[in-house]
Amino acid sequence: MKTLMLASLLLLAGCASMGGAGAPPVDVKGADVSKRTMDNGDTIEEYRVSGQLRMVKVTPARGAPFYMYDKNGDGRFDNDKDGVSPVYWKLYSW
C-alpha cells in the first residue's frame, strides 16, 4: 500500500513539473528588456513588445523572483475578480 501511494505521488509530482517548460504565459519574443537595480538591491526587468509593457520580473535581494504579466495585451497587468494584480512565482524547474 505504501509503495502504491509513493508511486502515485511521484507520478503527480512529475506531471506538475512538466507544464510550461519555463516559457512565460505571454509572448515576449523579440522583446526589449530593460534591467535596473533598486537602492535596496532588488533587480527589475521590464519586457516591452512594440513599446508596450508585457511582463515584469522582480528579483528581490533576498527571496525568490516573481513575475507580473499582461496576458491579453490590453496594457494593464492582469487582475483577479477583486482587482488585485496576481504575482507568479516559479517554484522549481529542471
Distance, in Å, from the CA atom of 26 to the CA atom of 76, rounded to the nearest integer, reads: 13
Residue 24 placed within a domain: no
> Which of the residue ranges 6-10, 11-15, 45-49 has the most confident prediction, judged by mean pLDDT?
45-49
Centre a 10 Å sphere on the Cβ of residue 5 and count the other Cβ atoms it contains. Answer: 9
Domain of residue 42 covers 30-87
Confidence of residue 40 (pLDDT cuts 50, 70, 90): very high
Residue 9 placed within a domain: no
Per the structure, the count of domains in the chain is: 1
Residue 13 placed within a domain: no
Residue 72 placed within a domain: yes
Distance, in Å, from the CA atom of 38 to the CA atom of 44, rounded to the nearest integer, reads: 8
Percent of the chain with pLDDT over 90: 20
Which CATH number do you get for residue 78?
Answer: 2.20.130.30
Residue 52 placed within a domain: yes
pTM here is: 0.60
Q: Where are the beta strands (DSSP E) in the chain?
A: 32-37, 43-49, 52-59, 66-69, 88-89
Residue 25 placed within a domain: no
Backbone angles phi, psi at 10, to 5 degrees: -65, -35
